[in-house]
Chains A and B, each alone.
Chain A
Amino acid sequence: MTSHSPDIAAPPAAGLLARLASGKLAVLLVLALLVAVPPLFFPSGFYYRVGAIVWILAIATIGLNLLMGFAGQVSLGHAGFLGIGAYAVALLPSRYGIHGIAAMVIGAALSAFIAWVAGRPILRLRGHYLAVATLGFGILIAMVLTNEQWLTGGPDGMRVPRLVLFDWPVRGSDTWYWIGGGAMLIAAWLALNLVDSPTGRALRAIHDSEVAARVIGVDVARYKLAAFVISAVYASVAGSLLAFFDGHITPDAAGFLRSVELVTMVVIGGMGSVVGSVIGTLVIVVLPQTLTFLSDYKHIMVGAFIMLFMIFLRAGIVPSLAALVRRRG
């Protein structure tokens, strides 16, 4: 099996130091530092907001990476699950008085169920069928959210009631920065554990060769389905958090462009790398903010940067740089 995930699967012979540096704990430590250190340099609340968005979207990216980087399947409709999570916390508390956290859990369960039902027939197919089917699924969710105006407020969106934890209304970009960061760390920890488990090994086997995996007795369809369901739950939770944070949600959250953005984050950061997912999200969210001074040329430059990343860091930012360091060292 090739090691396409340097931050989690280093060969045992690489020495204690290398193992430490690539162990689960080290990855979590790197991510924790990434969350904890930047606020020391934040000049205003705006930076907390951008940071919070990065951590929240990174949860969805980590989930999608489990599907893309490990199970080797592309989902072009993942924002659909983001939308389900978001509208769950917008609708359930305001219409049925369900607590925000419970609404988030219900949204995640609904996403898991939909992924399971939709994934069962689709994931028996190989190649691009899943990509096409998920593409249709994502557009379907966005259409429902746009057209069912009596329920969702239509294209103008709807208000999301503020999350209240133990009588304490959660507000402010800085608070959400730490909540998002914490949730992202938990998500990363769960993903790392999953990757290290027999399920993770089976998924990687499928990624490398479906035929070989089947020959050694891996139930390919079942594991692909598991990865799809898990990634849907990740996206749903991210959608819920994003909706709580924004306080207002529109069907754009479930749109096709958002799905493509998530795939871009995974690919830019590095397939099969948890840290890569976070870095990919960071780049895609922060890049447009830093390039605003270019005004009309911003979009061209964002595109150019993404192309440069793909040309020079082909395996994604984190795996490519890790390989570079290993070769030099």
Chain B
Amino acid sequence: MAGWTRRVFAGAAAAALMAFGASAAQAQIKIGAVLSVTGPASFLGDPSKKTLEIYVEQINAAGGINGQRLQLIIYDDGGDANQARTFATRLIEDDKIVAMVGGSTTGTTMAMIPLFEEARIPFISLGGAIQIIDPVRAYTFKTPHTDRMACEKIFQDLQRRRLTNIAMISGTDGFGASMHDQCVAVAPRYGVTIAHTERYGPRDSDMTPQLTNIRNRQGVQAVVNAGFGQGPAIVTRNYAQLQVPHPLYQSHGVASKQFIDLAGDAANGVRLPASALLVASMLPDSDPQKSVVVNYARTFEQKTGQPVSTFGGHAYDGLMILVEAIKKAGADPRKIRDAIEATRGFMGTAGVVNMSATDHMGLDLTAFRMLEIRNRDWTIVPEGGS
């Protein structure tokens, strides 16, 4: 072959490689993840990392996707948005991934979105806030429920119990502040009036003053606590000590066994919206979600020896939605994007996912179960009555 033809051929081959991602030629599909494995958000990033590693290994052991192995590249941003953006650049420019699962927090996700939109690489975020998918961006998706949905689920339950006047007590951390705003925004739609508002710092160790204000406020019928970490546990304990007579609602942010351990018997009677994952074994066999959540919970607990968390579940959902999309579309990022958007009836740990051009999360309120804590354990509140 003449020198120049060989060069042209090589050039064309290289161009083709670029277009399909360098992975195609090596029969490998490269996917990436930027997670907050260490730092203040490690409780989000750590179970996600373990989940992705476990399932990518499983998929490869079973022969990969369409005969191609998955190669997973994970970087730890330590919860820092600037680092996240650097690693996202690295995944796109250097590692040449075809899609990405991750971005543990809303902050890191928002910092990375422009890069993926510009590079036209699908990005399935594990961040919570609604601003990730609202407005809808072509290449950005997310798997966790939004805090607005948690508010709506709580308000639905209030409607069933015929309670309309509530007080809110919210943490000033990212989660608490965001959920508070979303609850205020959707309250009128459910005929709920937020009659009183209190706040506490994420590291406060006593919420008695705020709760005393709430107890003394006339007309309050229920209390909603938006927050995560140890704050809600302290709120719950103080709430019981002050013997506030109204029902107390917590958010999905405390949906872990650890919360019950911290709050102790004070947690009895507390209600909260949570994903089915927490009550996997209690679901009736007729529940279509049961097999997915039971399998995930068993796999995670066996492989890591740690209790399952909803945050790892979000990573499972993201990875599986992506895997389904790659099965249909191959390794071209644009086609993967279209396939993700076309996801219908996918059963994940967070619920049924039906994506569309206007909804890049695809979950509805049935994804949440209303739980009540009784005798230091979860029970499912029947959706029919109260």
A interface residues (Cβ-Cβ under 8 A, vs B): 43-47, 49-50, 53, 146-147, 149, 154-157, 159, 173, 242, 246-250, 252-253, 289, 292, 295, 298-299
**B178 and A248 contact, CB distance less than 8 A:** no
Check A249 against B173 for contact (C-beta < 8 Å).
Answer: no
B114 interfacial contact with A, CB 8 Å:
yes
Rank and list the top 5 A-B pairs by shortest CB-CB distance, nearest first: A155-B174, A46-B93, A248-B111, A44-B93, A45-B93
Using known A-B contacts A46-B93, A246-B85, A248-B81, determine if residue A156 contacts B75 with beta carbons closer than 8 Å: no
Query: Looking at chain B's contact residues, is the secondary structure mostly helix, strand, loop, or mixed?
Result: helix
A237 to chain B, nearest CB (A): 17
Q: Give the chain A neighbours of B106 by CB distance below 8 A.
A: 156
Number of residues from B at the complex interface, CB < 8 A: 29
Check A253/B94 contact, CB under 8 A, given A155-B177, A159-B110.
no
Chain B nearest Cβ from A53, distance in angstroms: 7
The interface bits of chain B over 152-174 (1 if a CB of A lies within 8 angstroms of the residue's CB, else 0) are 00000000000000000000111
Partner of B82 from the list A146, A155, A253, A295 (CB cut-off 8 Å) is A253
Q: Does B94 lie within 8 Å of A43, measured CB to CB?
A: yes
Can you name the residue of chain B whose Cβ is closest to the Cβ of A172? Answer: B118
Known A147-B172, A155-B107, A156-B131; 10 more pairs at CB < 8 Å: A45-B89, A47-B94, A49-B85, A49-B89, A50-B86, A154-B178, A248-B111, A252-B79, A253-B82, A289-B90
In the complex, chain A residues whose CB is within 8 Å of the CB of B79: 252
A248 contacts which chain B residues (CB < 8 A)?
81, 85, 110-111, 114
- From residue 273 to 324 of chain B, which have CB atoms closer than 8 A to chain A? none
Q: Considering the complex, give the chain A residue whose CB is closest to the CB of B110.
A: A248
Residue pair B93, A157 in contact (C-beta under 8 Å):
no
Q: Give chain A residues whose Cβ lies under 8 Å from the Cβ of B107.
A: 155-157, 250, 252
Point out the residues of chain B lying under 8 angstroms from A252, CB to CB: 79-82, 107
Q: Is B222's beta carbon under 8 Å from chain A?
A: no
- A299 to B38, Cβ gap below 8 A? yes
Instruction: Tell me if B372 is interfacial: C-beta within 8 Å of chain A.
Output: no
12 interchain pairs (CB within 8 A)?
A149-B177, A154-B174, A156-B107, A157-B81, A157-B107, A246-B85, A250-B80, A250-B81, A250-B111, A289-B90, A295-B76, A299-B38
Contact A154 B177 (CB under 8 A): yes
Distance in angstroms between the alpha carbons of A242 and B93 in the assembled complex:
20
Chain A residues with CB under 8 A of B181: 149
- Neighbouring B residues of A157 by C-beta, 8 Å: 81, 107, 110-111
Residue of A whose beta carbon sits closest to that of B112: A248
A313 to chain B, nearest CB (A): 26
Which of A249, A250, A253 gathers the greatest number of chain B CB atoms within 10 Å? A250
A246 and B111 within 8 A (CB): yes
Closest chain A residue to B80, Cβ basis = A252
> How far is the CB of A146 from the nearest CB of chain B, in Å?
8
Q: How far is B38's CA from A147's CA once the two chains are assembled, in angstroms?
A: 23
A156 B110 Cβ-Cβ under 8 A: yes
Q: In the bound complex, how far is the Cα of B84 from the Cα of A247, in angstroms?
A: 13
Distance in angstroms from A62 CB to nearest chain B CB is 19
The answer to whether the Cβ of B350 comes within 8 Å of any Cβ in the partner chain is: no
A249 proximity list for chain B (CB < 8 A): 81
Query: Which residues of chain B from 119 to 150 have any CB-CB distance to chain A below 8 Å in the complex?
Result: 129, 131
Beta-carbon contact of A173 and B178 below 8 Å? no
Q: Name B86's contact: one of A44, A250, A289, A295 (CB within 8 Å).
A: A289
Contacts of A50 in B (CB 8 A): 86
Which residues on B sit within 8 Å (CB–CB) of A173? 89
A43 to B129, CA, bound (A): 36
CA distance A289 to B86 in the complex (A): 9
Inter-chain contacts of A154 with B (CB < 8 A): 174, 177-178
Query: Do B93 and A298 touch (CB < 8 A)?
Result: no
CB-CB < 8 A to B94: which residues of A? 43-44, 46-47
Least CB separation from A171: chain B residue: B118
State A43–B82 Cα separation when bound (angstroms): 22
Query: B88-116: contact bitstring with A at CB < 8 Å (1 yes, 0 no)?
Result: 01101110000000000111001100100
A156 touches B129 (CB 8 A): yes
